[in-house]
Amino acid sequence: MPSVFQPDFHLPRAAAAPAPVSRADTQDYFTEVATDYRAWSPSYNMHFGYWRAGLNPLRRESMLVQMNREVGRALRLGERPTEDGRRCVLDLGCGAGATARTLVGDDPRLYAVTVTNVPVQNRIAERLDARAGVADRMAHIEADYTRTGLPAAQADGAWALESACYAEGTAKADFAREAARLLRPGARLVVVDGFLLRREPGRLARWLHRLWADSWAVPTLAVRDEFTAALREHGFEDIEVRSLRWRVAPSALHIPALATRFTLAELWKARGSLSPWRRKHIVASYCALALGLFWRDFDYCMVSATRRAS
């Protein structure tokens, strides 16, 4: 019986450069593991949760929904009134649209457009929208979020919740450029993700980052300071960086038991054989928790910024 972990846990030789992760790899990964995310969240919240006082840390779904609401709060939509009270927001790299569904469900005057290049995620999102009663205020488009084709300066807010990392490079400049193009002057961008704190982490941390990234089809995490510099370069100001390390820790601690139970159940159903991307998905789940132990090299942050008027 093949091991779930064997293909991934060999330290690479120093001279061997890993093949870069391509957009096709990312699409293949998310297509193949689309329904596996349901084990983490029945509502397809494909991110860590946000713990606050009053939430039960044993109830993962409530923390996942709270993260959606923290993103909504950081958009500060109430600070920019409109004539009819309606606003349109963008989810850049939406997965199955869970964050947009939460925010639209909370505010009857809010409309959302979500962007993903994985068709199966949009099909899942449409089913969940109908179930939540918000399908008339949600639109899901299939596109690359660095080249959406959407009209410029029309969005009242935008976010990327654990999705900006899929853009190229350590500055994610293409992502920052397109977000700036899409937002109205004065509108907010919110990015929640893991970040490298330095370009060259220690050897073990560097290997762990590469293993995690390859397993979840991520080109690389952004370097935090390079990312904020790219935001400034492409027209953002009032940039705020907030570490959420301790806020996401309670949900991250759900990983070992859940991933182990999921692995055993899926191996049993598949008679001991899982496809390569499904095996890597499991490996990355454990790696995500381990990365949080390298405080000098990684952090999980909310970065928010305002689109400059000119």
| Integer CA distances (angstroms), 81 to 70, 113, 187, 279, in order | 20, 19, 11, 48
Intra-chain end-to-end CA distance of the chain, in Å? 60
Cβ(178)–Cβ(147) below 8 Å? yes
User: How far apart are alpha carbons 243 and 5 in whole angstroms?
Assistant: 31
280/15 Cα distance (integer angstroms):
23
The SS3 of residue 70 is helix
Sign of the Cα pseudo-torsion (115, 120, 122, 128, in order): negative
Tell me the per-residue pLDDT of 221-233, one tens digit each, with 9 for 90 and over.
Answer: 999 999 999 999 9
Give the separation between CA 163 and CA 146, rounded to whole angstroms. 12
Q: Coil, helix or strand for 243? A: strand
With beta carbons less than 8 A apart as the criterion, state whether 207 and 11 touch: yes
Q: Taking the complete model, does pTM exceed 0.75, yes or no? A: yes
Give, in order, the Cα–Cα distances in Å from 266 to each of 18, 43, 259, 260.
28, 20, 10, 10
Digit-coded pLDDT (tens) for 195-215: 999 999 999 999 999 999 999
Q: 279 to each of 24, 30, 52, 130, 140, how far by Cα in Å?
A: 18, 13, 33, 32, 29
Cβ neighbourhood burial of 174 (10 Å; 0-12, 13-18, 19+): middle
> Using CA atoms, how far apart are residues 55 and 49, in angstroms rounded to an integer?
11
Assess contact for 109 and 221: CB atoms under 8 A.
no
Tens of pLDDT, residue by residue, the chain (310 residues): 334 434 444 444 443 445 678 888 898 899 999 989 999 999 999 999 999 999 999 999 999 999 999 999 999 998 877 778 899 999 999 899 999 999 999 999 999 999 999 999 999 999 999 999 999 999 999 999 999 999 999 999 999 999 999 999 999 999 999 999 999 999 999 999 999 999 999 999 999 999 999 999 999 999 999 999 999 999 999 999 999 999 999 999 999 999 999 999 999 988 888 899 999 999 999 999 999 999 999 999 999 999 999 7
Are 175 and 205 spatial neighbours (Cβ–Cβ below 8 Å)?
no
Single out the residue of 145, 192, 116, 177 nearest to residue 307, CA to CA. 177
